[in-house]
Amino acid sequence: MKPQIIVCGLGRTGYRIFSLLRQQGASVVGISNQPIPGETLGLIVGELDSATSLLSAGIIDAHTLVIAADDDALNLAILVQARVLNPKIQIINRLFNTRLGDRLDRTLPDHTTMSVSALAAPVFAFAAQGNQAIGQLQLFNQTWPIHEEYIDAHHPWCNRSLSELWDDRNRMLIYYLPTNSETDLISAVTQKRHLQIGDRLIIATKPSIRNSRKTFLTQLNKLVVSLRQFQQHSQSSLSIAFTLIAMILCATLTYTTVNSHISLVDSLYFSVGMITGAGGKEEVAEQSPDSIKLLTALMMLVGTGVIGICYALLNDWILGTRFRQLLEATPLPRKHHYIVCGLGGVGIQIINQLHGHGHEVIAIERDPNSRFLSTASSLKIPVIHGDASMATVLESANITRAEALIAVTSNDTINLEIALTAKGIAPKIPAIVRTTDPHFARLSQQVFEFDAVLSPIDLAAPSFAAAALGGRILGNGMTADSLWVALATRITELHPFCSLRIKEAAMAADFVPLYLETNCQTIHGWDLLETCLSAGDVLYLTMPATQLEQLWRATPSSELMAS
């Protein structure tokens, strides 16, 4: 019998998860706080955190509860009420506060926190790097992008044997969709089948990490940029300082020219004292003609204003925040960097992803009180405060020499405006745009010819659905309306795959083995296919979500593991 799944909170994200689960044939019930036009079957309308609503949805006998509302406080209220009614239910909880989610995961059994931002960000980052990912896979403590290869007459893999691709450690074959047959991937590999025109192959590629060591030229370039920034910030202070010095020198030369009996040192001493108000050597002016005395009076008045301005600027630099901000400011990269517009939940996750792979990033944020500014500062990411839809702001981020622009503010219209402005300045720059409407994403990408228009909800919903279906998930993706998941399953004596060769189990159950952890070693490639599974092994695999029922029959959810 299929486990009962409840999706609580049918907003944009929740309804997408609900639809995916139903599409994959899962037994699912949704709870919404308002009626949904056209939806009656499997829908409970009521307060999301109400015991009555949860009981009507079958919380007592349910296996999994997906909490998908867009309010952390409401999601926590649902969590508490659900655990009172069914202490053993597995909970997939959507939370914006990931730190709180981590604490809940460590405190509560069978509780998994998931974030739409964290799930969508890697795909945005991969798209900015030119990789049109359809999903992601967590392997060997890295996030591998997953994409689809469509084999046409000009594809380099056309007529190439699948067995040649199987043993490459820099890629993982995930799924195979032949055009003229129903052959599974493992059967095609063992039979040394050749890729034909029209075939589709889903693969995960090992991410490349840029060398983080700084070359001498890079360090020199950053030093030059820092000096330029210092010059820009201190331009007014330097102008006043030069004016003061010029006044002193002018007065000194004037007094020595008028009266040759006055030494240069005495004239300089008097000039400094006169302009600063300290006084001293007044006889220099007293022995001068009336015109010089008038000039002296005028310079005293002007000097008072100049000295006042100097003291104010000096106070601002030393006692204020400008000097500290300049010292802490990270120089703006000049070229080969990524520009992220919008320092929200998705934006900061994208920055983390790009920075973790050794790329330089500039963030643009219009809100000076953004809660992620401190996070960006800790990563040494320069932040430009301004409206990214303005050409001058994008130009200050050196957009003409950037690798890509990623517009991920919370407003779809602003994201579109930012991307169009960027294309007006740098027509060839790759533009990655965020939208909340998956239908609009497809249309706008076609009309405006952006490199990618992505919906975080569309990207994250399959991960929620996969987690509800199969426990802790390593990755997932959508192919031809079919959801497939990657997971790690511990082999027990009662497991349906126990004592079988992996090749035989894969052909029978239509899964693709990735690698095996057994006896403190990891097995890949051809050796993996010939290995017999035994109790205690951990098998990492991908399989269609519709086939996960084979694991439900014999494998408790606690035996489904994450890497």
What are the structure tokens assigned to 202, written together? 């889903």
Is the pLDDT assigned to residue 320 strictly greater than 60?
A: no
> What local confidence, expressed as pLDDT, does residue 449 receive?
82
Helix (H) or strand (E) holding 406: strand 404-407
Is the pLDDT assigned to residue 559 strictly greater than 60?
A: no
Note the Cα 513 to chain centre separation in Å. Answer: 29
Q: Which of 149-163, 176-190, 230-244, 384-398 has the highest mean pLDDT?
A: 384-398
Do the beta carbons of residue 549 and residue 510 sit within 8 Å? no
CA-based end-to-end distance of the chain:
28
CB atoms near residue 131 (< 10 Å): 16
DSSP-derived letter for residue 63 is S
Q: Which of 371-380, 391-400, 456-465 has the highest mean pLDDT?
A: 391-400
361 vs 466, which has greater pLDDT? 361
Is the pLDDT assigned to residue 357 strictly greater than 70?
A: yes
Give the whole-angstrom CA distance, residue 344 versus residue 329: 20
Do the beta carbons of residue 118 and residue 136 sit within 8 Å? no
Do the beta carbons of residue 340 and residue 351 sit within 8 Å? yes
Q: Which of 90-104, 178-192, 265-279 has the lowest mean pLDDT?
A: 265-279
Average of pLDDT values for 234-254?
Answer: 75
Give the whole-angstrom CA distance, residue 325 versus residue 343: 19
Give the whole-angstrom CA distance, residue 355 versus residue 526: 35
Phi first, then psi: give them for residue 443, nearest 5 degrees. -70, -45
Q: How far is CA 302 from CA 244, 286, 298, in A?
A: 10, 20, 6
- Enumerate the β-bridge partners of residue 364: 341, 384
313 vs 127, which has greater pLDDT? 127
Number of residues assigned to the chain: 563
Categorize the per-residue pLDDT at 256 as very low, low, confident or very high, splitting at 50, 70 and 90. confident
| Residue-wise pLDDT tens digits, 292-308 | 777 777 777 777 777 77
Per-residue three-class SS string for 244-262: HHHHHHHHHHHHHHHCCCC
Q: Residue 86, SS3?
A: coil
Give the whole-angstrom CA distance, residue 539 versus residue 557: 15
Q: How far is CA 468 from CA 90, 95, 487, 498, in A?
A: 8, 16, 12, 24
Please identify which residue in the block is written with the tokens 């802790």.
472
Helix (H) or strand (E) holding 521: strand 521-523
Average of pLDDT values for 470-495?
Answer: 72
DSSP-derived letter for residue 366 is S
- Domains for the chain: give ranges and CATH numbers: 5-114 (3.40.50.720), 217-325 (1.10.287.70), 332-459 (3.40.50.720), 478-551 (3.30.70.1450)
Average of pLDDT values for 94-114?
Answer: 91
226 vs 245, which has greater pLDDT? 245
| Residue-wise pLDDT tens digits, 546-556 | 776 666 444 44
> What local confidence, expressed as pLDDT, does residue 327 receive?
52
Give the whole-angstrom CA distance, residue 82 versus residue 50: 9
What are the structure tokens assigned to 151, written together? 């084999």
Identity of the residue numbered 559 = E
Do the beta carbons of residue 523 and residue 515 sit within 8 Å? yes
Is the pLDDT assigned to residue 179 strictly greater than 90?
A: no
> What local confidence, expressed as pLDDT, does residue 415 receive?
94
> What local confidence, expressed as pLDDT, does residue 562 receive?
41
Radius of gyration of the chain (CA): 33
- Enumerate the β-bridge partners of residue 112: 92
Q: Which of 335, 334, 352 is nearest to 343 (CA)?
A: 352
Average of pLDDT values for 349-372?
Answer: 90
| Residue-wise pLDDT tens digits, 399-432 | 999 999 999 999 999 999 999 999 999 999 999 9
Identity of the residue numbered 290 = D
Q: Residue 59, SS3?
A: coil
Categorize the per-residue pLDDT at 557 as very low, low, confident or very high, splitting at 50, 70 and 90. very low
Mean pLDDT of the chain: 82
> What local confidence, expressed as pLDDT, does residue 26 receive?
82
Task: State the pairing for strand pair 135-139/111-114.
Answer: unpaired
CB atoms near residue 134 (< 10 Å): 18
Do the beta carbons of residue 534 and residue 498 sit within 8 Å? yes
> What local confidence, expressed as pLDDT, does residue 72 receive?
93
Q: Which of 409, 326, 338, 331 is nearest to 367 (CA)?
A: 409
> What local confidence, expressed as pLDDT, does residue 551 receive?
61
